[in-house]
Amino acid sequence: MNHDSYPDADIRGILNSVKTIAVVGVSTNTVRPSYFVFKYLSERGYRMIPVNPGQAGKELLGQKIYARLSDIPEPIDMVDVFRASEHALGVVQEAIALDPRPKVVWMQLTVRNDEAARLAEANGIKVVMNRCPKIEYGRLSSEIAWMGVNTRTISAKKASLPARGIQRLSLDRATLAGGTTDAATEAQSKAGNLSH
């Protein structure tokens, strides 16, 4: 597979088919990108499982943190790798040992390991490298356009929103908590106070 470019249909297919995502290398620090990704995808209906040996036994957003993939007592659909590229091979080796195996190994932005990708694909696991599922979800669902990012999609028609949650047109998921962070809510509150 060409890992320099991924068709939107492939990324959309992955994001629509996976339900349980283990995030290897997730941080409990609320300003770290891995925390944002974990929270964002959780709010979009994915079952998120944190994996970080240094935090094992603690909780992240109400989910028990595991030391390694093999400690997780349920099947995983996708492994999201928030580790440096040189550690991706070890994560893939651990994923291959699982029964059942995950369907996808997704390596975050700047994470690329072609040897790990070949091994995963040789064992029937799809691979995405150097991409962020949060960004791809936002782009494909048109959600990211609400934040002023150019998605190269032109439309004068505003999507209708249901009363509870935000139904994504491109992806079959609904937002459960609006996607805000504590910092964004606080900033919005302060801005409202300043305008009065």
Within 13 Å and on the Cβ side, how many CA atoms surround 143?
24
Look-up: residue for tokens 């190994």?
105
Residues 131-152, mean pLDDT to the nearest whole number: 74
Q: Which residues contact 37 (CB under 8 A, 6 or more apart)?
A: 23, 26, 80, 82, 108, 132, 133, 134
Please report which confidence band the pLDDT of residue 26 belongs to, taking 50, 70 and 90 as the band edges.
very high
Confidence (pLDDT) at 185:
55
Domains along the chain? Answer: 1-196 (3.40.50.720)
Mind listing the pLDDT tens digit for each residue in 142-182? 776 544 444 444 455 555 444 444 444 345 555 555 544 55
pTM here is 0.75
pLDDT at 164: 46
Tokens of 187: 């900033």
| pLDDT over 90 (residue 84) | yes
**pLDDT at residue 76 is higher than 70:** yes
Residue 8 confidence (pLDDT) above 90: yes
Average pLDDT, the chain: 83
